[in-house]
Amino acid sequence: MQTDDAPKAQILTRPTPAKGPALYARRRKIFPKRATGTFRQFKWIVMAITLGIYYVVPWIRWDRGPYAPDQAVLIDLATRRFYFFSIEIWPQEFIYVAGLLVMAGIGLFLVTSTIGRAWCGYACPQTVWVDLFLVIERFFEGDRNARMKLDAGPWTLRKLRIRTLKHASWLLVSVLTGGAWIFYFADAPTLVPDLLSGNAISTAYITVAILTATTYTFGGLMREQVCTYMCPWPRIQAAMLDETSLTVTYNDWRGEPRSRHTKKAAAAGESTGDCVDCNACVAVCPMGIDIRNGQQLECITCALCIDACDDIMGRLGRERGLIGYSTLNDYDSNMALATRSGTALITPELVRTPEGGFNAAVAHFHWRKILRPRTFLYFTAWSAVGLSMALAVATRDRLELNVLHDRNPQFVRLSDGAVRNGYTVKILNMIPQPRTVILQLDPAFDGATMTIAGADLENVKTAEIALEPDRLKTLKVFVRAEPGHVASGPQPFLLKVSDPASGETAGYMATFNAPETVR
């Protein structure tokens, strides 16, 4: 996001650690202050919704009759079925899940190109759980200053007690997190007593243990380091953002030159920007960065610095939005205004009116700016995938027929001169109800009959087949063509299965092979 032509050199230089090369860098401890404001409020709501979905969904019941589980969302690995409310997915229908992933991908492009790293800042599980863990930390240790004091202080009994309680609570949340995960893979109400009494399968305990460990480590101990060092998304975002994407921006064109002593400076005739260098934006940052250094890899755009700064600006009676969501285009245009197109240092007077408001030339964000070809294209692609999938699910077959011709032998000549072909016929009953279907040999295939192995059905044209609920039925079917009715060479014919009760049908064009010499 940094562009060379943006005249920001004065704020870009970070404190320089000019020491010799170290083998490793210690983590800088971060003690984020509790923020209040619009975005914090929004994040609480998102947190409640996402955590609510995660913990509650496995407990929702959905009646599918006596032959299928009544859990609304269930990934049944043992029988290879995925249940999602009224939708049941067989392994070969996994393309729907692939479609969801495509939608998630395009959706991420759409969101990122529009409002930047909103996923990182609001919805990512890492962000949500770190937020949750910070709530716990604050509950036991107090807010930023109290935590810093406690951390710097010696190990007293009080510190030991507080820290133990904190880590125990973190572990409890971690166990609950890992514990909730496995309910998506088994019937939740029966798994709970099994789990507590030690009767669940070892995979369940191992999964809970691993997820407990990762939640505790990532959410409690690693926190921002997961985003900075482990996650690939901060790197990918650079390719997603453009100059019309909204990102959390420090508007230095109105903030600089920053000063803690504006009145003194004003008395001395110096002009100062809006930034009073109060460090509120730094104090609330869960990533431990200073947003005033410009867009950074570490910034997850959680917008808490906006809340913090708006609070200060409000109290000082200045216009809010010194830190705010802004596009690079607006920022650049305002910066050019404030610096006479880069020929001068930032001069607040150039963007302000004498009354304290903003110059009419200052660019502000308008929601219409998100309507551009790129977002339109993403949205179209996203909707197209979604609509076609919805259509596909609504019209998909729940009765399917597959026919595999015997590879070897391709045909068998019988003692009376007839020719027989063998087929493996697979009938898929994809509803959780038993049903009886009719398997029918092509009426146009003269002189041909079929025999179903092991079913006492010999030389018939149609056969009633009982199907188990939600199961695949495999039949060995022999088709026999009487002498005189055998075409030379391959003869295509239709094998059809139909459910008289529902009217569903499925067909398969199979081939009947015969030796060239047989007529």
Partner 1 sequence: MTEKHIDDVSGVRTTGHEWDGIRELDNPMPRWWVWTFYATIIWSLGYVIAFPAWPLLKTSTQGVLGYSSRAEVDRDLQAASAEMDVYQTAIRERTMDDILADEALRPIAIAAGAAAFKMNCVQCHGSGAEGSKGFPNLNDDDWMWGGNPDQIRQTIAHGIRFTKDGETRDSLMPPFADVLEPAQIAQVSAFVASLSGPVRDPSLIAAGKTVFAENCAACHGDNAKGNREMGAPNLTDAIWLYGSGEASIAAQVRAPRAGVMPAWNDRLGETTVKELATFVHELGGGEK
Binding site for partner 1 (CB under 8 A): 12-18, 21-27, 222, 225, 229, 406-409, 412-417, 420, 422, 451, 453-454, 476, 478
Please report where in the chains the tokens 């650049």 appear, as a residue. Answer: 332
Closer residue to partner 1 (CB): 89 or 486? 486
Nearer CB in complex with partner 1: 155/229: 229
Cβ atoms of 439 and 399 closer than 8 Å: no
> Whose Cβ is closer to partner 1: residue 14's or residue 372's?
14
Least distance from C-beta 414 to partner 1, angstroms? Answer: 5
* Cα–Cα distance for residue pair 401/403, rounded to 1 Å: 7
What's the DSSP call for residue 258? Answer: P
Pairwise CA distance, residues 47 & 114, whole Å: 22
DSSP state of 350: G
Nearer to partner 1, 417 or 500 (CB): 417
Query: How long is the chain?
Result: 519
| Cα gap 350→367, rounded to integer Å | 26
d(CA 203, CA 78): 12
Q: Distance between CA atoms of 244 and 260, rounded to whole angstroms?
A: 33
Least CB distance to partner 1 at residue 326 (A): 22
Q: Which residues does 488 contact at the CB level (< 8 Å), separation at least 6?
A: 514, 515, 516, 517, 518, 519
What type of residue is 366?
A: H
CB of 298 to partner 1, least distance (A): 12
Specify the 3-state DSSP secondary structure of 356: coil
Measured from the CB atom, is 21 or 354 closer to partner 1? 21
Residues linked to residue 88 through DSSP beta bridges, in sequence order: 83
- Amino acid at site 185: F
CB of 413 to partner 1, least distance (A): 6
| Minimum CB–partner distance for residue 278 and partner 1 (Å) | 25
Least distance between partner 1 and beta carbon 330 (Å): 23
Rounded Cα gap, residues 8 and 326, in angstroms: 16
Helix, strand, or coil (residue 465): strand
* Closest CB 287 distance from partner 1, rounded Å: 14
Q: Tell me the closest approach of the beta carbon of residue 465 to partner 1, in angstroms.
A: 14
Residue of 308, 319, 313, 306 whose CA lies nearest to 247: 306
Name which of 270 and 468 has its Cβ closer to partner 1.
468
Of 12 and 146, CB closest to partner 1:
12
CB of 349 to partner 1, least distance (A): 29
Q: List 457's β-bridge partners, or say none.
A: 452
Task: Closer to partner 1 by CB, 225 or 402: give it.
Answer: 225
Is 93 strand, coil or helix? helix
Q: To the nearest whole angstrom, how small is the minimum distance from the Cβ of residue 424 to partner 1?
A: 12
**CB of 26 or CB of 263, closer to partner 1:** 26
- Which whole-number Å values give the CA distances from 176 to 123, 171, 172, 449, in the listed order? 19, 9, 6, 61
Whichever of 11 and 182 has its CB closer to partner 1, that residue is 11
Residue of 254, 315, 247, 331 whose CA lies nearest to 280: 315
Cβ-count burial 22-45 (b if 16+ within 10 Å, e if not): eeeeeeeebbbbebebebbeebee
How far out from the chain centre does Cα 198 lie?
Answer: 32
For partner 1, the closer CB: 197 or 517: 517
Retrieve residue 91's tokens.
């392994």
Minimum Å gap between C-beta 372 and partner 1 is 30
Residue 59 has what DSSP assignment? G
- Smallest CA-to-CA distance from 476 within 490, 487, 465, 485 is with 465
